[in-house]
Amino acid sequence: MDPVTIKDIARALNLSTSTVSRALRDSYEISPETKRLVMEYAEKINYRPNPIALSLKGNSSKALGVIVPQIANNFFSQAINGIEAIAYNRGYHVIIFQTHESYERELANMQQAVARRVDGLLLSLSSETSDLSHIKALHAQGMPLVLFDRVADELNVSQVVADNFTGAYAATAHLLSTGRRRIAHLTIPPYLSITQERLAGYRAALDAYGVPFDENLVRYGTFGPDEADQLVDELLAQSPRPDAFFTASDRLALGCLKALRERGIAIPEDISLIGFTNLQAAEMLNPPLSTVTQPAQEIGQLAAERLIELIERKHKAAPVSTVKLPTVLTVRGSSQRDPAGS
């Protein structure tokens, strides 16, 4: 693992560094014999080109920046898993940044990533971010950029997301189809694209079933801990009381489940619950949690693939693409309330 350089090879073989360099790159202008010599010796002493030098020379660092709100999160850790897998196969490295849901941190992280000369950036917006000028600026400068999960349509940047609308629609429609009519929606901060899409899916399903939308049934949480109790109480205080909950994050699903249980409310008999979550072991919960899940790893993979594609054809005009991956609705336990439900 010693830092053996092209110079060492040149010296040992009594060649110039340029010859060695060309031989290693299998250049046509080098004699087969010399090539063989160089290749063999390089192999023997386990030569590895110095990526730092390559970065400095060329304009590619072979590094991908990944900026996410939180690593310690089922969705994002799975997505990063997908990203890392693709990146590794394509010879890229992954530099991780967390925004902790802070706009300031997002900005700082982007600057750091740029300073690091990453070849491209995978970005999932913080929930505080409403001003998108930093991203526009970076994109305008030609930095390859792919947004995933938490995106922004106004950005005209490639995106990879789950089909949040359809997922939310399916969840809500399922609740409606089992006779629920007062469906509360416990969701995450309103700026986020995923919040809006899920809300839209929820509303569309209500519409389709002719159930009027009641904004009092929608509550926005943050990603902080222990907030579910209060939100659930607010919702339970509505009249008539909700007969179903549709929650938008792991934490809210768990918090809601717990709050309902603690208040002696039977799930799904009294109140039915579906969570938009990537929680593990949803089926092992008490009661089992019905879920809409996102293909997190696949989202990460596709985003990374897209980004690398963007990077490697940087010269050509970069087409903007949006990929929407299907979510999966898994119903657990019987939530049938009114078999005759319209």
The stretch near a second copy (CB under 8 A) out of 43-51, 156-164, 173-181, 307-315 is: 43-51
Choose which of 21, 34, 102, 112 interacts with a second copy (CB under 8 A).
112
Choose which of 36, 45, 53, 234 interacts with DNA (CB under 7 A).
53
**Residue 61 lies near a second copy (rule: CB under 8 A):** yes
Q: Which DSSP symbol is given to 69? A: S
**Residue 72 lies near a second copy (rule: CB under 8 A):** yes
CB count in 10 Å sphere of residue 302: 22
Find the shortest distance in angstroms from Cβ 70 to a second copy: 7
Q: How far apart are CA 278 and CA 197, in angstroms?
A: 17
Q: How far apart are CA 99 and CA 25, in angstroms?
A: 40
Choose which of 1, 3, 224, 225 interacts with DNA (CB under 7 A).
3
> Which contiguous run of DSSP H or E holds residue 133?
helix 133-140
**Residue 53 lies near a second copy (rule: CB under 8 A):** yes
Q: Restricting to residues 252-281, name those near a second copy by CB under 8 A.
A: 254, 257-258, 279-281
Distances (CA, A) of 55 to 49, 109, 169: 11, 20, 47
**Residue 44 lies near DNA (rule: CB under 7 A):** no
> Which contiguous run of DSSP H or E holds residue 29?
none
Q: How far apart are CA 123 and CA 144, in angstroms?
A: 11
Angle among Cα 283, 284, 288 to the nearest 5 degrees reads 55
CA atoms within 13 A on the CB side of 31: 4
**Residue 155 lies near a second copy (rule: CB under 8 A):** no
Q: How far apart are CA 150 and CA 162, in angstroms?
A: 10
**Residue 116 lies near DNA (rule: CB under 7 A):** no
Burial (0-12, 13-18, 19+ Cβ within 10 Å), 175:
buried
Contact pattern from residue 90 through residue 109 relative to a second copy, giving x for each residue in contact according to CB under 8 A and a dash for the rest: ---xxxxxx-----------
Find the shortest distance in angstroms from Cβ 89 to a second copy: 12
Buried b (16+ CB within 10 A) or exposed e, 179-216: bbbbbbbbbbbebbbbbebbbebbbbbbeebebeeeee
**Residue 202 lies near a second copy (rule: CB under 8 A):** no
**Residue 326 lies near DNA (rule: CB under 7 A):** no
User: Which partner from the list a second copy, DNA, none does 17 bind, CB cut-off 5 to 8 Å by kind?
Assistant: DNA
Tell me the number of residues near a second copy by CB under 8 A: 57
The stretch near a second copy (CB under 8 A) out of 7-15, 79-87, 186-194, 200-208 is: 79-87
CB 118 within 8 A of CB 95: yes
Choose which of 12, 39, 41, 50 interacts with DNA (CB under 7 A).
50
Q: How far apart are CA 286 and CA 2, in angstroms?
A: 55
Give the phi and the psi of residue 277 in degrees, each rounded to 5.
-150, 160
Closest CB to DNA among 36 and 261? Answer: 36
Query: Which residue in the block uniquely carries the two structure tokens 């900005």?
Result: 107
The stretch near DNA (CB under 7 A) out of 9-17, 94-102, 134-142, 311-319 is: 9-17
Which residues bind to a second copy, rule: CB under 8 A?
1-3, 48-53, 55-56, 61, 63, 70-74, 76-78, 80-81, 84-85, 88, 93-98, 110-112, 114-117, 134, 137-138, 141, 250, 254, 257-258, 279-281, 283-288, 297
Contact residues: DNA, CB under 7 A: 3, 5-7, 14-19, 21-25, 28-31, 33-34, 47-50, 52-54, 56-59
